[in-house]
Chains A and B, each alone.
Chain A
Amino acid sequence: MLHDLQRDFAGVALTNSVAALLPHVSAARGSTERRLSVYHANTLNSLTDVLSAAYPVVQRIVGDRFFYGLAKAFIAAHPPRQPALFRYGDALPEFLTQFEPAKTLPYLADMARLEWARLDAYFAADCDPIDPQQLANVPPEQISNLKFTMHPAYRLLESNFPIFTIWAVNQPDLDPVPEVDFDQSEDGYVSRLTHTVIQRALPSDTLSWLRALKDGETLGTATALAMACDEAFDLQNTLRQHLADGTFSNFHV
C-alpha cells in the first residue's frame, strides 16, 4: 500500500500526473493540485539545474528556453536511477541524437558527449601519472614492447564536427571570437591533470596511436599504426607531450 502511494507520488513529482494521488491527500485550504505542483516544480527545477551545470555549452548554443524544454523532455524520458546526481545526464548525448527539435544542429549531440566527458573526467578516481624518469630507466631494447594503462580520467572523442573549436568559441568573455569551419572534423581527448580538466584536438596519426595504446597494444604496434596514418609521426614529441599531460597512469613490459 505504501509502495503504491509512493509510486503515485513519484508520478506527481516527475510529470505532474496527479489523478492517482489526489484521493489520498488533502490541503488545509485552497487547491490541492496547486500544492502538489510545488513538488513537481521542485523536482523539475533541481534536475534542470543539474543538467545546466553538466552541459553549459549546449545550453549556451541553444539558449535558455530551448534548454529548459529539452531538460523537461529528457527528465520525463530518463528520470534519475541513482540517488546521487553527479552521474545524472549521461544519457543526454544519445537522447539529443533522437530529439527532433535539435535536428538543425547536428553537432549538438557530439558537443554533449564532449561536455559529459569533461564532467566524467572531473570526478574520475585520483591516480598519479607515470613519472617520466621511470620510463627513462627502461632498457632501449624493451621500449617497443611497453604497454600503458590510461589515467582513469582519460577519454578519447571522435567527431565529424569541429567540437573542440566550437567548445572553445563558446567560452564566456572570448574576444575576438574566431571563425568556425563547420566542414572540419575534430578528434581529441579529455583528461585531468591533478585537479584541472584538459582537452586537446588531435591529428589522426596521434589518435590512432592513442587508440591502439588504450586498446592494450604495445608501443611498437601503436607507433606502426600511427606511421601508417602519417609517416611523419613524431614518436618522441608525442610521447613527451602525453607524459606531461598525465595521460598514462602505469606501464609494463
Chain B
Amino acid sequence: MAAFASGTPDAAWVEIHSENFFVPGGPRLAQLEDVRSHYAISCHGVGLSLGSAQGVDVDHLSTLRDLVDRIEPGLVSEHLSFSVVDDIYVNDLLPLPYTEEALQAVVRNVDQTQEAIGREILIENPSSYLAFVDSVLTEWDFLAELSQRSGCGLLLDVNNIYVSAENNGFDVSTYLEGVPGDAVGEIHLAGHSIDGSGEERLLIDTHGDVVAGPVWTLYQQALEKLGPRPTLIEWDTDIPELEVLLAEAHTAQRHLDAVSMPEDSSRVA
C-alpha cells in the first residue's frame, strides 16, 4: 500500500477491503487518504453479511456510510454470502442455499444497504466447495433475480465461477450465458490452488497465485459477452513483488484493449 500512497504504480484505481479502514484513526487511514489523492478507490466489503437471516448490523452499515462519505469511492461492492449468525462473526464468506427464503433475505439486506449509503452496490458471486440439497435456483438465476428485485449490480469474479464450476460440476458457459450482462459493473480475477486428485480433487480460492490459464480463457469469453468492464487482480495471500502483480494487471489490460472501442475507458487495477 505504501507504493500506492506515493502514487507511483501505473494503475487506474485501487480496491480496498472496507472493514480494514473501520478504525478510529492512525496511520492506516492517513495512508488511505494519500492513496485516494492519486487513484480512484473501490470499497470492497467482507463483513456486511448480506446473506444473514438475522439482517445486517446497523452499526456496521453506518460505519460503512461514514467511510463511503469520506472516500467517495467509484464503486462499492459486497459478497453473496453470510458471515454473521447469533452475533458471532465467522471470518469467511460462507455460502447460501439458493432458495426463495434466502433470496428474500438477501434482497431485503441489499435494499437496506443501498438505502443507507445512498447508492447502488455490486454483489460478487462466491467460490464454493459444495451445494445445498434445498437449493431450487442455480447461482446465476439467483444473482439475476437478486439484481432485478433490488436493483443492485453484479461483480463477476471469473476465478470464482471457474472454481465453483470445477468443484460442483456445472458448465462455465451456461453460467456466463445466465448472468444478466448489463448488471455487471466490475470483474475480479485471482489465482486458486488445486488440492487432492481424482474423486477428491478440489479447487481452492486462495488469492495467492497467478491467474490460471483456463481462467484467462473464461475472462476472454466474459469480455466478448459483456464488453469491457473495470477489472481487478486480487492477490492477498503470499503477496509477490509489485512487478508480478502489475504484470498480471497488464495481461488483463491487453484482454480489455482487445474488446474495447477507443472511447471505452475500462481499466485494470
Contacts and interface: CB of A to CB of B under 8 A. Distances in A.
A81 B85 CA distance: 10
Interface string A1-37: 1110111011001100000000111111111101110
Interface in B15-57: 19-20, 22-30, 47-49, 51-54, 57
Interface stretch (A41-49, A161-169, A175-183, A233-241): A41-49
Given A2-B53, A25-B131, A124-B26, A81 B87 contact: yes
Interface of A: 1-3, 5-7, 9-10, 13-14, 23-32, 34-36, 38-39, 42-43, 46-47, 50, 79-86, 88, 122-127, 152-153, 192, 195
Nearest to B52: A6
A110 B129 CA distance: 42
A84 to B, nearest CB: 4
A126 B25 CA distance: 5
Nearest to B18: A84
Contacts of B51: 6
Contacts of B20: 84, 86
B235 to A, nearest CB: 15
Contact of B129 (A7, A38, A83, A122): A38
Given A85-B91, A124-B26, A125-B24, A34 B131 contact: no
Given A38-B129, A84-B47, A2 B101 contact: yes
Greatest chain A CB density within 10 A among B20, B84, B88, B169 is at B88
Contacts of A47: 91
Nearest to A25: B130
Contacts of A36: 129-130
B202 A34 contact: yes
Greatest chain A CB density within 10 A among B51, B83, B94, B129 is at B129
